[in-house]
């Protein structure tokens, strides 16, 4: 029996206080799965550098204005009696440092008293309690305190951070989504909302539970018991590595299990047979896990991959179990993750220049009307939807007064005043 074509979060309303990467990313995921996500931008801003805007709308509110704070309280408050169609948030995303909401007069405890069904997702970098809680920080700092940064990098070199992907997005945004979804499920049973606390130090440790657990000496597993950069999955093993090709591009090799490694070697050695005199001694599949053989393996693979172009190797290993595929540039990948030579549409000129289509995790599901903003491009004009949202909240008669009081920015109204 076919499943529903309705996006699973259709009908859920999210108020996202504008912030940096993790909050907007959580909002993007909610919007992609059908929620009506409204970003609260700063009053007076005409542009935002946030590009995680697909499917969202914007209202620009002054959080320094009593009228602005009152408006936010209305948007996260309970439905007014007799007006069940009014726009009211199910979820509030708080991206601020500890204490900011309270100082603004938006203490989550008070918001929950006013609307017991509200879910407040509070995203902080450092843990909410402790010596770092009041400090400014970014992904690299939270990663450092998680204990995970010390495990990343090449042998003999300093720790290396994976841009801001692991902490901002995995340990922050994704963990916020998981927490909110769990709270929504609980609310369906109890009728009550709650505060969901997410800090990126703890979230990163959770997202990194595999290496943190495997690295314990008590596990007795060989995958991650050596110093940084000397383990199976962190650049230590030659059969889990990236190799430069003849045209200065790269192939990825991930033949962890011996039967995959044997499949890789069979193909690799066959393709290099005519170059035997130029290469070191060919490896045996029986020495895969022998650390003493790894330096020679690395030298052989490095020399071998350098004899053909990336696309030549890609064609050779396509449709095999060698666990060897090309490292694609961002402009080579379409929205479904397809690359050159794979079935699917070709990237058009604009997509190629822009780094390829941006992936949507639920392409099968239809969009709800609330996601109409998806076609507007990567940037969302602050306050673009202020009038529409205020009218949906039952405040249509107050729009001009709110704008005149400096509580709300609404370009549509300003143009008419």
Tokens of 116: 């017991």
Residues 308 and 381 in one domain: no
The CATH number of the domain holding residue 322 is 3.30.1540.10
Angle, vertex CA 60, rays to CA 59 and CA 62, nearest 5: 135
- In terms of Cα–Cα distance, which of 337, 332, 336 is closest to 353? 332
Same domain, residue pair 248 and 142: no
Helices 22-32 and 175-190 cross at an angle (nearest 10°) of 50
Is 286 marked active-site? no
Tokens matching residue 363: 């392409």
Which residue range(s) make up the domain with 388?
4-207+361-415
Rounded Cα distance, 212 and 227, in Å = 13
Q: Which of 168, 199, 234, 385 is catalytic?
A: 168
Rounded distance, CA 13 to CA 384, Å?
A: 18
The confidence band for 369, taking pLDDT boundaries of 50, 70 and 90, is: very low
Higher per-residue confidence, 224 vs 193: 193
What's the pTM?
0.88
pLDDT tens-digit map of 244-255: 999 999 999 999
Report the phi/psi class of residue 323: left, alpha or beta, with left for phi > 0 and alpha for psi in -120 to 50.
left
Residue 295 burial class via C-beta count within 10 angstroms: exposed 0-12, middle 13-18, buried 19 and up = exposed
Q: Does 340 fall in a domain?
A: no
**Structure confidence by residue, pLDDT tens digits, 207-242:** 999 999 888 877 767 888 889 999 999 999 999 999
Q: In this prediction, what percent of the chain has a pLDDT beyond 70?
A: 85
| pLDDT digit string, tens, across residues 45-60 | 888 889 999 999 999 9
Whether 136 maps to a domain, the answer reads: yes
Q: In what order do the strands lie in the sheet with 119-124?
A: 194-199, 119-124, 91-94, 13-17, 36-42, 56-61, 408-409
Tell me if 96 is assigned to some domain.
Answer: yes
Contact 373, 57 (CB under 8 A): yes
Whole-number pLDDT of residue 247: 97
- Whether the CB-CB separation of 175 and 28 falls below 8 Å is answered with no
Q: How many domains does the chain have?
A: 2
Question: 240 by DSSP, 3-state: which?
Answer: strand
Tell me the pLDDT of the chain averaged across its residues: 88
Of 332, 353, 384, the last residue of a domain is 332
Could you tell me where the DSSP H helices lie in 216-293? 258-271
CATH number of the structural domain spanning residue 91: 3.40.50.10540
Amino acid 397: pLDDT: 86
Question: Are 245 and 186 in the same domain?
Answer: no
């Amino acid at each position: 029996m076919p499943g529903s074509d309705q996006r699973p979060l259709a009908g859920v309303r999210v108020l996202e206080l504008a912030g940096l990467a993790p909050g907007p990313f959580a909002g993007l995921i909610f919007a992609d799965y059908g929620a009506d996500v409204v970003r609260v931008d700063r009053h007076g801003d005409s542009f935002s550098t946030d590009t995680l805007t697909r499917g969202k709308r914007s209202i620009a509110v002054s959080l320094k204005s009593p009228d602005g704070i009152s408006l936010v309280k209305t948007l996260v408050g309970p439905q007014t009696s007799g007006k069940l169609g009014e726009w009211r948030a199910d979820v509030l995303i708080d991206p601020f440092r500890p204490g900011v909401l309270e100082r603004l007069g938006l203490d989550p405890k008070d918001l929950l008293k006013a609307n017991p069904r509200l879910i407040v997702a509070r995203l902080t970098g450092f843990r909410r309690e402790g010596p770092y809680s009041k400090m400014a920080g970014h992904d690299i700092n939270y990663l450092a305190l998680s204990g995970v940064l010390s495990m990343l990098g090449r042998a003999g070199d300093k720790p290396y951070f994976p841009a801001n992907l692991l902490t901002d997005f995995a340990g922050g945004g994704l963990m916020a989504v998981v927490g909110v979804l769990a709270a929504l499920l609980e609310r369906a049973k109890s009728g009550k909302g709650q505060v969901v606390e997410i800090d990126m130090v703890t979230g990163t440790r959770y997202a990194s539970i595999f290496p943190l657990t495997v690295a314990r000496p008590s596990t007795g597993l060989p995958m991650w018991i050596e110093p940084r950069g000397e383990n199976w999955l962190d650049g230590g093993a030659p059969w889990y590595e990236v190799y430069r090709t003849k045209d200065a591009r790269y192939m990825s090799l991930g033949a962890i299990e011996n039967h995959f490694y044997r499949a890789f070697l069979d193909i690799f050695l066959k393709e290099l047979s005519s170059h035997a005199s130029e290469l070191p001694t060919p490896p045996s599949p029986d020495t895969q896990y022998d650390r003493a053989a790894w330096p020679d393996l690395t030298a052989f693979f490095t020399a071998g991959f350098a004899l053909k172009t990336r696309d030549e190797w890609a064609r050779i290993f396509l449709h095999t179990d060698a666990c060897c595929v090309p490292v694609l540039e961002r402009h080579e990948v379409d929205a479904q993750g397809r690359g050159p030579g794979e079935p699917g549409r070709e990237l058009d000129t604009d997509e190629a220049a822009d780094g390829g289509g941006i992936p949507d995790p639920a392409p099968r599901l239809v969009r709800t009307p609330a996601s109409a903003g998806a076609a507007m491009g990567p940037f969302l004009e602050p306050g673009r939807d202020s009038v529409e949202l205020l009218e949906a909240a039952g405040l249509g008669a107050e729009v001009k007064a709110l704008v005149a009081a400096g509580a709300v920015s609404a370009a549509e109204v300003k143009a008419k005043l």
